[in-house]
């Protein structure tokens, strides 16, 4: 689907739905059948837009290590946090807690890690915590899934992010007054990318390129390479 055409369709459809015009159009007996719009077609267009937006965010996402000082709008920050809130979790326990850090002095202390120096210039740092008591086996996985939701949503909002695992857990715990029952999973830098200065990411990806699909996937068993085999799917 052409992105511009799809976007226009989606905007019109949302307007119809919000005004209940779609229901009136499709179910009003006074409207001729041939003039009605297919609900399934509209739903298909919406689904296509959603799939396209998600995959586009996945393609565009990359680690950003240089940021502008521009403030992240509150509405975008709330949307990013909402994406985390909606993440799946084992038993729906939702063991996560996220601390949004914007204070410059605190960000400076969070940037003490060997590979975390740029947190000083990142206008927002989100600290992802997982409740070890609530979900002892899955708190790390669940919190990580929620944080990846934040990363993709931030990308779709035009913001850059970077996962940070370079930190001293005890120091972060003391700085942010985090209870012992919470493990600190990762830090997430968030802000607008400084284009000209973000060179470290380019250098890293020059020497460490993405692995090819056939190197990371198998079909039915390990090293029975997925791309070299035909799927044995039967049509119902």
Q: What is the 3-state secondary structure (H, E, C) of 175-233?
A: HHCCCCCEEEEEEEEEECECHHHCCHHHHHHHHCCCCCHHHHCECCCCCCEHHHCCCCC
Asked if residue 130 belongs to a domain, the reply is yes
Q: Are residues 107 and 182 in the same domain?
A: yes
pLDDT (0 to 100) of residue 31? 44
Asked if residue 225 belongs to a domain, the reply is no
Asked if residue 86 belongs to a domain, the reply is yes
pLDDT (0 to 100) of residue 213? 82
What is the average per-residue pLDDT within 65-87? 95
Asked if residue 129 belongs to a domain, the reply is yes
Q: Are residues 78 and 11 in the same domain?
A: no
Q: Is the pLDDT of residue 146 over 80?
A: yes
Q: Is the pLDDT of residue 81 over 70?
A: yes
Q: Which residues span the domain enclosing 81?
A: 74-197
Q: Is the pLDDT of residue 170 over 50?
A: yes
Asked if residue 123 belongs to a domain, the reply is yes
pTM of the model: 0.72
pLDDT (0 to 100) of residue 220? 80
Q: Are residues 97 and 157 in the same domain?
A: yes
Asked if residue 217 belongs to a domain, the reply is no
| pLDDT tens figures, 9-67 | 544 544 444 444 344 444 444 444 444 445 555 565 556 555 558 888 988 888 899 99
Number of domains in the chain: 2
What is the average per-residue pLDDT within 116-144? 96
Asked if residue 233 belongs to a domain, the reply is no
Q: What is the CATH number of the domain that holds 141?
A: 3.40.109.10
Q: Are residues 102 and 127 in the same domain?
A: yes
Q: Are residues 134 and 31 in the same domain?
A: no
Q: Are 83 and 214 in contact (CB under 8 A)?
A: no
Q: Are residues 151 and 177 in the same domain?
A: yes
Q: What proportion of the chain, given as a percentage, has pLDDT over 90?
A: 53
Q: Are residues 167 and 110 in the same domain?
A: yes
Asked if residue 214 belongs to a domain, the reply is no
| pLDDT tens figures, 198-233 | 566 666 666 778 888 888 788 788 878 787 655 554
Contact partners, residue 6, CB within 8 Å, separation at least 6: 45, 48, 49, 52
Q: Whose structure tokens read 């297919």?
A: 38
pLDDT (0 to 100) of residue 113? 92
pLDDT (0 to 100) of residue 44? 58
pLDDT (0 to 100) of residue 184? 98
Q: Are residues 19 and 106 in the same domain?
A: no
pLDDT (0 to 100) of residue 182? 98
Q: Are residues 9 and 108 in the same domain?
A: no
Q: Are residues 48 and 95 in the same domain?
A: no
Contact partners, residue 81, CB within 8 Å, separation at least 6: 98, 100, 150
Q: Are residues 88 and 165 in the same domain?
A: yes
Q: Are residues 142 and 180 in the same domain?
A: yes
């Amino acid at each position: 689907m052409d992105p511009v055409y799809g976007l226009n369709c989606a905007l019109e459809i949302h307007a119809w739905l919000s005004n209940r015009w779609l229901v009136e159009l499709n179910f009003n007996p006074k409207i001729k059948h041939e003039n009605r719009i297919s609900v399934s077609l509209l739903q298909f267009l919406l689904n296509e837009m959603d799939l396209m937006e998600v995959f586009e965010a996945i393609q565009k996402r990359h680690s950003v290590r240089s940021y502008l000082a521009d403030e992240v709008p509150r509405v975008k920050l709330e949307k990013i946090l909402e994406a985390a809130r909606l993440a799946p979790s084992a038993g729906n326990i939702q063991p996560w807690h996220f601390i949004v850090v914007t204070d410059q002095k605190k960000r400076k202390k969070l940037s003490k890690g060997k590979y975390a120096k740029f947190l000083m210039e990142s206008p927002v740092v989100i600290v992802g915590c997982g409740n070890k008591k609530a979900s002892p086996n899955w708190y790390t996985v669940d919190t990580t899934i929620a944080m990846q939701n934040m990363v993709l949503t931030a990308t779709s909002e035009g913001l850059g992010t970077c996962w940070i695992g370079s930190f001293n857990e005890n120091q972060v715990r003391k700085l942010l007054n985090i209870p012992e029952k919470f493990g600190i999973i990762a830090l997430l830098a968030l802000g607008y990318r400084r284009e000209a200065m973000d060179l470290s990411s380019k250098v890293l990806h020059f020497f460490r390129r993405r692995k090819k699909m056939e190197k990371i996937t198998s079909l039915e068993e390990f090293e029975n390479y997925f791309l070299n085999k035909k799927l044995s799917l039967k049509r119902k």
